[in-house]
Amino acid sequence: MARASADSADEFPPSLGRVATRELALNGFTRFADLTTVTRRELLALHGVGPKAIRILDEHLAERGMTFAE
């Protein structure tokens, strides 16, 4: 079942990396809109989600007129 959840994270760019994408999906973050409910610090606490992933996600959120929670 976890595999299906990880596959549903197609919205995130490949440059994010497989581990970060998988961990985001396993924690319920499968779309950019999901990321507006969480802070950068909370995401950094996830395995595989580091500063580079946050930077990539931040850029893609900004392109969509969204931001992480404060």
Distance CA 20, CA 62 (A): 19
Distance CA 65, CA 44 (A): 22
The alpha carbon dihedral of 59, 62, 68, 70 has a sign of positive
Q: pTM for the whole thing?
A: 0.84
Domain layout of the chain by residue ranges: 2-63
For each of the chain's 70 residues, which pLDDT tens digit applies? 344 444 445 799 999 999 999 999 999 999 999 999 999 999 999 999 999 999 999 999 999 999 999 9
Fold of 2-63: DNA polymerase; domain 1 (1.10.150)
- The single residue listed with the structure tokens 């497989």 is 18
